[in-house]
Amino acid sequence: MTGSSFLHPAAAFLALGILLPFIRGSWWRWLTPIPAILAIYSVFTVAPGDYGGLTWMGFNLSLGRVDALSTIFANVFAIQALLGFIYSLHQEDKRQHIAACFYVGGAFGCVFSGDYLSLFAFWEMMSVASTMLIWLNFRENKRSLAAGFRYFLMHTFGGLLLLAGMLLRYKALGTWAFTPVDPSAAHYYDWLIMFGFGLNAAIIGLHAWLPDAYPEATVTGAVFMSAFTTKTAVYTLARGFAGWEFLAIMGVVMTLYGVFYATMENNARRILSYHIVSQVGYMVAGIGIGTAMTLNGACAHAYAHILYKGLLFMTVGGILYATGTQKLTELGGLASRLPIVCLCYVVAGLSISGWPVFNGFISKTITIAGAFEDHRTLLGIGMELAAVGTFLSVGIKLPYFAFWSKAPDTTRVLKPIPWNMHLAMILGASLCTLQGLFPQALYWLLPYQPVEYTPWTAWHVLQSFMLLSFAGFAFYLMRKTMKPHEQRNIDFDYLYRLVGRGFLFLVSKPVAWLDSIWTEVYARVGLKGLMGGAAASRVFDVSGIDTVVDGSAYTTRGIGRGAAKTQTGRLNDYLAGAVALAAAVLALVWGLR
């Protein structure tokens, strides 16, 4: 089906990103929410169809594939973009807004791309723009430069995996179309593409860029980044790789791995970053299991996750903005000093934990129930276990040590939080709550209809309350053990660094040694041989080439002079010469007989 009209949400973001450098004054900040408002209008009014097809260098590109799957992701992207731009309305650094515009525009571009070529272009746009959101924090945080560089290297690697896969796929199939891959007929290029997407989804082993970079980003930039990179990857995996067993298992590993590291962490934004890994794990597992219910669960959880994770980064960003630190060991007793931030954090923390009333309850449980109903009991138990860990670390530990663990802190000087940051938090908290109370407001967007899951049953509510309340009791009993410590927990990024340093060592030591040996050999043997060869060449040139060439020249000159002497101009001389030549020829012929 081809729709009649479609205002591509990316267009307004990209247009604003291009225009902003040319606008003077400070009124431009009021323009920043406009693309998001247009995007909301667009995604709520567009009909399914194929829009915006174009031909480029002989290839047919599709920029506007609108269906249930792309619509649900675009829907929450638009809402979160509005919240993000409201949250950053006070931000005077224009470059951050420009980077955010290209980043969000790139995410919309990916979601609506129907082919790999345009998807790749938007994918890379996101990579570059999000790197800027890290680097632009360099005045506040010196670590952001190195972290941004590592982030960009990793995403370049992921982009190359994707590029290699799509080129090989094109060579094999002759099409750029971005279509589902049957796991039983997957080729090596499909795996390359899957790992390219997987890196952005932070699958374990390729995930360490996330907790490395997000805590170093700008306060407002991290809010955007928490929403778009990993969820765009989840969209691409849902579009192309549903039913892949590798993803089902990897997803559950992600859910557990993320909570394990979050439980150990001291840096609040790194805790949240590890929880992105964990929560995206639920989505990846749902995609990997691949039933209609778990795919709905993955999409629903992506939607809810974007809202509550954005809220978590907004509130923790608020703490960082007000106090200047994000270390739990340096926080505590702030509940009465930052009451709105505290309340909104609690809503976000209960949402991510799957607490009834809030939106995690109506999204996370779909995937878990879907796993059990597909008789994947171990996967289901693994996800329940991760839910316990989630509540322990981000539901209780972080707020406890940031807001309550000490007596009310009345002496700390706090930087006032701008009204727009508070407004964005309150809007985010309201959406998390409303969505939890009215699940149909989310379920009608899900790709597989009808949605045969009812979260608000007495048993589901009781089960969630029991699981989480007793996990809270475990925290109460072990609260002294849970106390955070100033430490850096090494992860796979240590391995990346080892590989990097190994390469540096290889180049600077053994390869440099080999190079010095080669230089010596060249100086002693090669150079002397070359000089000897040159001398021999000179002798040959003088005594051989020159002799032959000069001899030929001398001979030619002699013949020329002799011939000139024969040109007397007298006829009788020429006749005598002709007779002599004829006699010589006759004598030669006679002799050869």
Partner 1 sequence: MSEALSRFFLWAHENRNLFRILFFVVLVVLVALNVFEKPEHPHVHEEVYPGFWAVFGLGAGVVMIYLIKRIIANLVAFDEDTYDRL
Could you list the residues that contact partner 1 (CB under 8 A)? 143, 259-260, 263-264, 335-337, 339-340, 342-343, 369, 372-373, 377, 380-381, 384-385, 388-389, 392, 403-404, 407-408, 458-459, 462-463, 465-478, 481-482, 485-491, 493, 497, 501
CB 84 within 8 A of CB 227: yes
To partner 1, the closest distance from the beta carbon of 478 in angstroms equals 4
Residue 139 or 375: the one with the smaller Cβ distance to partner 1 is 375
To partner 1, the closest distance from the beta carbon of 390 in angstroms equals 11
DSSP, res 526: I
CB 162 within 8 A of CB 206: no
> CB neighbours (10 Å) of residue 496?
18
For helices 268-289 and 245-264, give the axis angle rounded to 10 degrees: 160
Residue 168 or 357: the one with the smaller Cβ distance to partner 1 is 357
Amino acid at 592: L
To partner 1, the closest distance from the beta carbon of 10 in angstroms equals 35
To partner 1, the closest distance from the beta carbon of 502 in angstroms equals 12
Residue 80 or 291: the one with the smaller Cβ distance to partner 1 is 291
> CB neighbours (10 Å) of residue 523?
10
Q: Within its chain, how far is the Cα of 60 from the centroid?
A: 25
Residue 236 or 263: the one with the smaller Cβ distance to partner 1 is 263
To partner 1, the closest distance from the beta carbon of 248 in angstroms equals 17
Tokens of 272: 């949240």
Distance (Å) of CA 75 to CA 3, 78, 373: 18, 5, 29
Residue 377 or 552: the one with the smaller Cβ distance to partner 1 is 377
Residue 183 or 333: the one with the smaller Cβ distance to partner 1 is 333
Q: Which residues pair with 56 in a beta bridge?
A: 59
To partner 1, the closest distance from the beta carbon of 137 in angstroms equals 16
CA dist 496 and 170 (Å) reads: 31
To partner 1, the closest distance from the beta carbon of 144 in angstroms equals 12
- DSSP secondary structure string for all residues of 167-228: HHHHHHHS--B-----GGG--HHHHHHHHHHHHHHT-TTS-THHHHHGGGS-HHHHHHHHHH
To partner 1, the closest distance from the beta carbon of 445 in angstroms equals 26
Distance (Å) of CA 391 to CA 159, 258, 283, 569: 34, 12, 18, 121
Tokens of 256: 């557990």
To partner 1, the closest distance from the beta carbon of 261 in angstroms equals 8
In a 10 Å sphere around its CB, with 0-12 CB exposed, 13-18 middle and 19+ buried, how is residue 327 labelled?
middle
Which of 267, 262, 304, 266 is closest to 282 using CA atoms? 304
Q: Within its chain, how far is the Cα of 2 from the centroid?
A: 31
To partner 1, the closest distance from the beta carbon of 218 in angstroms equals 20
The verdict on whether omega for the bond into residue 450 sits within 30 degrees of 0, i.e. cis, is: yes
Tokens of 260: 């394990």
Residue 466 or 584: the one with the smaller Cβ distance to partner 1 is 466
Residue 215 or 310: the one with the smaller Cβ distance to partner 1 is 215
Residue 499 or 512: the one with the smaller Cβ distance to partner 1 is 499
Residue 458 or 564: the one with the smaller Cβ distance to partner 1 is 458
Residue 95 or 337: the one with the smaller Cβ distance to partner 1 is 337
CA dist 166 and 115 (Å) reads: 10
To partner 1, the closest distance from the beta carbon of 98 in angstroms equals 29
CA dist 195 and 178 (Å) reads: 15
> CB neighbours (10 Å) of residue 518?
11
Residues near 189 by beta carbon (within 8 Å), at least 6 away in sequence: 164, 165, 166, 168, 169, 172
> CB neighbours (10 Å) of residue 142?
11
Q: Within its chain, how far is the Cα of 500 from the centroid?
A: 20
